[in-house]
Amino acid sequence: MLDVVSEITMDNEKYVAIKKTDWIIILVLVLLPLLIKAIYAFIPTNDVFFQIKYYDAKGKEITENVGLDKTNRIVIPGKVGSLILELDKEKGVRVASSTCPCQVCVNCGWTKSDALVCVPNAILIKPINTNKDNSIDAVTR
């Protein structure tokens, strides 16, 4: 029976061809990361919800929870005027437009993990991760 390993002698040096087991190891090392990535693609990610706090015309605080399950736009009434909130499953959330004078909330852009605040309109958009404990953000000394 022939051995998979063949020795080739050239100019008094021995060269060993790649063994069958070496090819298997190389194949596993190449395919394993691809397999892991494919598995993680089917695992659902953490459910991210955004809690929206604002005040109605009578001054009563209203709190709503909105999920990133689909792309949509929400109009939120504020003290100065209305704010248009844009939700996207891929990108996260952003303030598309606002009637506040400085437009700081609009310039913040897309986010999935940061809070958005429109101070003149008294509107707070805060992310809430349902799979984590949100009581502690960081610990410092």
Tell which wins on pLDDT, 28 or 137. 28
Average pLDDT for 94-123: 89
Per-residue model confidence (pLDDT) at position 55: 87
Taking 3-state DSSP, the helix, strand and coil percentages for the chain, each rounded to the nearest 5, stand at: 20, 40, 45
CB 105 within 8 A of CB 99: no
Average pLDDT for 1-27: 70
CB 73 within 8 A of CB 87: yes
Instruction: Give DSSP secondary structure letters for 15-52.
Output: EEPPPHHHHHHHHHHHHHHHHHHHHHHHSPPPPEEEEE
Per-residue model confidence (pLDDT) at position 1: 46
> What is the pTM assigned to this prediction?
0.57
**Tokens of residue 77, six digits:** 């009434």
Q: What are the chain's domains?
A: 7-42 (no CATH), 48-129 (2.60.320.10)
Per-residue model confidence (pLDDT) at position 2: 47
Is the pLDDT confidence value at 3 over 70?
no
Among candidates 97, 134, 98, 95, which has minimal Cα distance to 111?
Answer: 95
Residue 106 CB-half CA count within 13 A: 13
Return the minimum-mean-pLDDT range out of 65-74, 104-113, 120-129.
65-74
Is the pLDDT confidence value at 75 over 70?
yes
Structure confidence by residue, pLDDT tens digits, 36-63: 888 877 776 556 788 899 888 788 888 8
Residues in CB range of 55: below 8 A, 6 or more apart = 61, 62, 78, 79, 122
Average pLDDT for 12-30: 83
Dihedral of CA atoms 97, 108, 85, 90 in degrees, nearest 10, equals: 130
